Amino acid sequence: MSPTYPFACTLGICDGFNLLLPNNAIADVVSSMSITTTPKDQKWVVGELNWRELNIPVVSFEQLILQRTPRLRGSHVAIFHGTLDTEKMPFYGVTVQAIPHNFSLLKESDLTERMDDLKLDYCSMKVTARGVASIIPDLNNIEAKILSS
């Protein structure tokens, strides 16, 4: 990923990970919404949420990225814009532990790639953004996985 600068970002916390995303990836953030659990074999599928008259799938990045049970259940749901098949899935939700906030990366030095041995599935890149360790999730592959489930 090579963003052009300035680059607007959203930072959301998931199981101790800071997620770095373009602002236009998130449509809304909701709190205190009732998620209907669905009987799925995949642990990463949390359930469905009725949002603006649509039933949208809700997933756990912790399950996808680390393949482990999240330490904390998200208290908010970030609503992401679907991009791969907007007819079938115009939006999907992701549980987050804090309301994402916006900031701008103004220059290339605001974002540096991190190298470590931790293997994370569905992660495009591990970075430090303005001094905060973050991951950039692979949204296209995550969407493809949701659509195929």
**What pLDDT tens digit does each residue of the chain (149 aa) get?**
455 555 556 666 666 678 888 878 889 999 867 888 877 678 888 889 999 999 999 998 878 887 666 555 557 898 999 999 999 999 999 888 777 777 777 777 778 888 888 788 898 888 888 788 888 889 999 999 999 98
- Nearest-angstrom CA–CA distance, 145 and 113: 26
Q: What is the pLDDT of residue 53?
A: 92
d(CA 49, CA 139): 19
Q: Quick check: helix, strand or coil at residue 65?
A: helix
Closest by CA to 96, choosing from 7, 19, 6, 1, is 19
Q: For the sheet containing 91-96, what is the strand order?
A: 26-31, 76-81, 91-96, 54-59, 45-51, 35-36
Q: Per residue in 15-53, pLDDT tens?
A: 667 888 887 888 999 986 788 887 767 888 888 999 999
pTM of the predicted model as reported, rounded to 2 decimal places: 0.85
| CB-neighbour burial class of residue 109 (10 A; exposed 0-12, middle 13-18, buried 19+) | exposed
